[in-house]
A and B are shown apart, each in its own frame.
Chain A
Amino acid sequence: MHTDSSLRHIMYLLQLSDSALPVGAFSFSNTLESAVEWGVVTDAASLGEFTRQVVRQTAFTDGVAALNTLRNIGHDYSLTLEYDSRLLCFKPSTEQRRMSQRMGRKIVELATKLSPHKWLQHRHADIQEGKAAGTYPVSMGVVAAACEIQAEALFASLCYGSASTVVNAALRLLRISHFQTQQILFDTAAIIDQLYSQATSLKIEQMHTFAPQIDILAALHEKGRGRMFMN
């Protein structure tokens, strides 16, 4: 965290990272349902490994898109449209694309009610008119720019969001305690600095990933019947 961040910006960050933020994050599990159903994740140790892999995937895809948005929005707002479409092309899973768009639209809808900033109004109009796909990382980049949230904080918020959706879902799917899930979140924080140092210099076209088992779990999830919620 930068030392020149005001308390106001820290409050904004906490608000955006809170699982109570009404963007629907609570209803997604990042394929944990399939991972539990097929015995890939069975206990706290395997949940921790799975969670960190989800966070790595977020860092080098969504994280790179969000950082590029925050970095470049001041120079050329129209790049947000390009970043949206690049991100959708990069996500092979239909459910993950839908999740990203749903959350991205919700966060912008909420943010426009909280702040009159021109970028938020512009983003909201683009989504409403169908010009922007409205993906979550790009929307978060726009919100962070409007709220003057630093790049490191935005990146940590996205990674924390991914980790928390997995461990919160785990509480409903596994025999696991709150103490164990909090330990996983705490341990996951230890890899964030390294991930940020690798992701921060990447351009949008340098997004990358390596999570073939998660891809297969996503495919199983799309065709499977196991759901925590009715979606």
Chain B
Amino acid sequence: MDYNNLPNLDTPPEMRPYSATPRMGAGTHGKHGVARLHFELDGSGRSILRRIERRAPLIVQQELYFDEMMPQMPCVYILSAGGPNVDGDRYEQHFSLGEGSYAHISTGAATKLAEMQHNYSAMQQSFHLAAESYLEYLPEPIIPCRHARFLSETTIYIDASATLFYSEILHCGRQYHMGEVFDYDLLSMKVSAFRPDNRQLFCEKLIIEPHRQHPATIGAMADYKIMGTALVFSSPDNCRTLYQNSPTKIDLQNHTAAGALLLEGDCGVEYRVLGHGTMAVKHLIREFCSQVRTLVKGRPLPNEFAWR
């Protein structure tokens, strides 16, 4: 297997300046984490984690049913034994949900992108949601350190009757470590969504290169430090309802800004949040997720654990 490149992930032009081989190679053993998770309904109608495949440094915890509002919901945390993502790390995460199944996936801690010298860290993700399935993907934030480079490509295949809540929270850096704010080299993050017949629903590619164009610009991050994004794909009726009821405002007191946009063909909603503090952004993203769950499953999200 060619470990230098992830399957179906060509090196995009923005990453070419960072294609030197790091000391321990790129994507070699111990630097190519894989997690494949498949959920489906068992004979009694309970949603379970039916298949799991993982390779270090990724660790997948056993599914737990700890959600007080939806005790039937399998909740899975993905961890990394390798600490932060370092030069030449490659990760693959593939999630699939069978018809009618449901799940909640998160990460155990923030994803730190360590300082890099030669290469970059890459993540390839895919989501396959069959009819009537439901998935909440709410990972902890990404924290890019000085000179970090990160490539992520997420592909979603979703049936028209399924619902996916997908979120990302992106920090400016280790802002309390010698004022490390937007000191990374490059972040390239792409999300594409399709119907099972390959009809494209949505595409977004964010490229942030602070040395070329600083994010602290009006229209980009302005004076905000943290960006949260939630993408919801569901039925057109659900999406229109979510869009109408989504909190769209600039909150001067809490220093946050949030707004929802209805995607082409009413196939989804993009909810963007900017803020100064992690907790404020996480809170807004979770509130929106709670709205989605209430609409689709009739139950809100439980309160976040005090230690998260």
Contact = CB atoms under 8 A, between A and B. Distances in A.
B250 A214 contact: no
A57 to B, nearest CB: 8
B264 A88 contact: yes
Contacts of B249: 220
B213 interface: yes
Interface string B238-280: 0000000000111000000111111110000010101000000
B207 interface: yes
B221 A89 contact: no
Contacts of A57: 219
Nearest to B206: A210
A89 B218 contact: no
Contacts of B229: 212
A227 interface: no
Contact of A213 (B204, B263, B274): B274
Interface in B38-66: none
A211 B208 CA distance: 10
Interface residues of B, number: 38
Given A212-B272, A216-B250, A89 B259 contact: no
Contacts of B201: 89
A15 interface: no
Contacts of A8: none
Q: Which of A52, A209, A215, A222 has the most CB of B within 10 A?
A: A215
Contacts of B203: 86, 89-90, 205, 207
A191 B248 CA distance: 32
Given A208-B205, A210-B207, A53 B220 contact: yes
Contacts of B262: 94
Interface residues of A, number: 43
Most interface-central of B190, B207, B224 (chain A CB within 10 A): B207
Nearest to B170: A212
B77 interface: no
B200 interface: yes
B217 A53 contact: yes
A224 to B, nearest CB: 9
A208 B186 CA distance: 13
Given A53-B219, A92-B270, A97-B264, A213 B257 contact: yes
Given A91-B264, A209-B206, A220 B248 contact: yes
A226 to B, nearest CB: 13
Given A86-B200, A92-B263, A220-B248, A213 B206 contact: no
A46 interface: yes
Nearest to B190: A208
A50 B219 CA distance: 6
A4 to B, nearest CB: 29
A223 interface: yes
Contact of A215 (B200, B202, B259): B259
A93 B261 contact: yes
B230 interface: no
A182 interface: no
B34 interface: no
Given A91-B264, A97-B264, A217 B259 contact: yes
A211 B205 contact: no
A213 B224 CA distance: 9
B259 A206 contact: no
A92 B250 contact: no
Contacts of A49: 217-219
B220 A213 contact: yes
Contact of A210 (B200, B215, B257, B260): B215
Contacts of A219: 248, 259-261, 272
Nearest to B193: A89
A201 B217 CA distance: 25
Nearest to B263: A92
Contacts of A208: 188, 190, 205-207
B13 interface: yes
A138 to B, nearest CB: 15
The 5 closest A-B pairs by CB, nearest first: A219-B259, A53-B219, A216-B259, A208-B205, A92-B261
